[in-house]
Amino acid sequence: MENEENMNNSWIDKHSINCIVCNALVDERDCVPYGEGQVCPDCESKNPDIALANQYSDWKGVDWVEPNIQFPRLLSEIWHSGEFDLKKLSEEMDLTETGVIEIFERALREWEKIKQDM
Ligand SMILES: [Zn+2]
């Protein structure tokens, strides 16, 4: 891209890219990789998923995740897997073990409702 304007834009020829999220022209040296492109610091700070994308190389930016659906589902799957430490969870949450079980039970009911409505 040729830039004939005489504004302190010497970085544009060497380092300019478009942010994959907001499409703004930005300096690639300030950006982080995300998906097929780069993301500007502003968009990175507004979207915590971008940090996850950098942490997990196979992160897809799963836009199918609706918290209202996936949270009860996740809790249900954890419950059914039996792979958790009830005592540790109750300590972490400052709840009784029964209190933690109650949350699991509510998640199980919620997930059953969601599955029926699908
Ligand atoms: Zn951006």
Tell me, in angstroms, the distance from the centre of ligand 1 to residue 55's CA. 19
**What pTM does this model have?**
0.59
Can you give the pLDDT at residue 53? 74
Can you give the pLDDT at residue 64? 56
Low-confidence ranges of the chain (pLDDT < 50): 1-3
Domain residue ranges in the chain: 10-55, 67-117
Q: Is-contact 77 108, C-beta < 8 A?
A: no
Q: Which residues have C-beta within 8 Å of that of residue 68, sequence separation ≥ 6?
A: none
Tell me, in angstroms, the distance from the centre of ligand 1 to residue 71's CA. 28
Can you give the pLDDT at residue 84? 95
How many angstroms separate the CA atoms of 118 and 113, rounded? 9
Tell me, in angstroms, the distance from the centre of ligand 1 to residue 12's CA. 16
Can you give the pLDDT at residue 8? 63
Tell me, in angstroms, the distance from the centre of ligand 1 to residue 26's CA. 8
Tell me, in angstroms, the distance from the centre of ligand 1 to residue 81's CA. 40
How many angstroms separate the CA atoms of 87 and 58, rounded? 33
Q: What is the DSSP letter of 7?
A: S
Tell me, in angstroms, the distance from the centre of ligand 1 to residue 49's CA. 14
**Strands (DSSP E) found in the chain:** 16-18, 25-27, 32-34, 37-39
Which residues is 38 bridged to in the sheet?
33
Give the number of other Cβ atoms within 10 Å of residue 49's Cβ.
14
Can you give the pLDDT at residue 26? 93
